[in-house]
Amino acid sequence: MKPFIYLPIWFLRAKFAGRKQPLQTVLFITNQCNLTCRHCCVYEKENPRNKSFNQIKDELQYSYNLGSRFVDFEGGEPFLWHENGKNINDLVRLAKQIGFFSTTVTTNAQLPFSPCDADSIWVSLDGMKPYHDQIRGEGSFERLVKNLSQSTHPKISINMVINALNYKSVEETILWANQQPNIQSISVNFHTPYPPTESLFLDWNLRAETIDKIIRLKKAGYSILNSVSGLKLMKDNRYKKRCWLTNFILPDGTKLPECQGKTQNICEQCGFCMAGETASLFQMKMDTIFSALRLRVSG
């Protein structure tokens, strides 16, 4: 029941009292990875950082004290994190002990991810095999499908980041995700051009056409987490951004009150659809409210 009490209070304070309090945390626990994705600006090959359990504990407590109640463990690849017999499940339990309502792990699914104690798992999929392997490396799609099919986790979703290489695979990816019995839903984002990945940015006209296609599929009944109202805002990014909803803690421990896109001066090219969803939420769009509740209350 705690989220049902906390979320309305948080929203009223944010919308009507102007209180800028984060609701969720993106916590990078390592920049070690088992892939070298073309779009990635986090992965570190030579000297990867793996945070200590105590550092992560301090960062979780810091975020909780700010007001955050949902945490997403990210990397690199979070399932590579270990310390003295501890693994990602120890971090999940730690977050719950501190008081976070729910935990999420975002994975490239190159390793088995069952069992995992996180409330939900987000699997990064960049299209069907030719597109996914072009971006993430030969064989990565088959490993993802194998580990996905073997997972018994009850709440698995797909996240697709659409870019100039894979936008033609959006429809078939949505259809495929909806055919998998253990996938709850799929969400979409667009590539945000952090240096040196600018070439992957999708042309605005193509983005608008792609969004229209996604909206048609959603209205046809396919399970897509993004709301129609939020997607429409992403066509041109002309909306008031409230990115303070999420605080970020980077692999080197840098604490940011909002997305690092602001420090890179690329907010106008933002592809993180959560920004559009947040703007639509504050516009009191009912479809976005239901989508947010589905994400944050039902997992």
Task: State the amino acid at position 70 in one-letter form.
Answer: F
The sheet with strand 24-28 has its strands ordered as 185-190, 156-162, 120-124, 102-107, 70-74, 24-28, 246-249, 255-256
Q: Which long-range contacts (CB under 8 A, 24 or more apart) does 259-268 make?
A: 260/194, 261/192, 261/194, 264/194, 264/195, 266/192, 266/193, 266/194, 267/237, 267/241, 267/243, 268/237
Check residue 47 and give its pLDDT. Answer: 82
Query: Residue 1 has what pLDDT?
Result: 63
| Burial class of residue 17, CB neighbours in 10 A (0-12, 13-18, 19+) | exposed
| Residue bearing tokens 């597109």 | 131
Q: What is the pLDDT of residue 239?
A: 94
Position 179 scores a pLDDT of 97
Question: Could you read off the pLDDT tens digit of each residue along the chain, which spans 299 residues?
Answer: 688 899 999 999 999 999 999 999 999 999 999 999 989 877 666 788 999 999 999 999 999 999 999 999 999 999 999 999 999 999 999 999 999 999 999 999 999 998 899 999 999 999 999 999 999 999 999 999 999 999 999 999 999 999 999 999 999 999 999 999 999 999 999 999 999 999 999 999 999 999 999 999 999 999 999 999 999 999 999 999 999 999 999 999 999 999 888 888 899 999 999 999 999 999 999 999 999 888 877 54
Domain boundaries, the chain: 20-296
Q: Domain 20-296 classified CATH 3.40.1190.10? A: no
Contact (Cβ atoms closer than 8 angstroms) between residue 26 and residue 248:
yes
Backbone angles phi, psi at 106, to 5 degrees: -100, 125
CB 72 within 8 A of CB 26: yes
Residues facing 25 on adjacent strands: 71, 247
pLDDT for the residue 275: 95
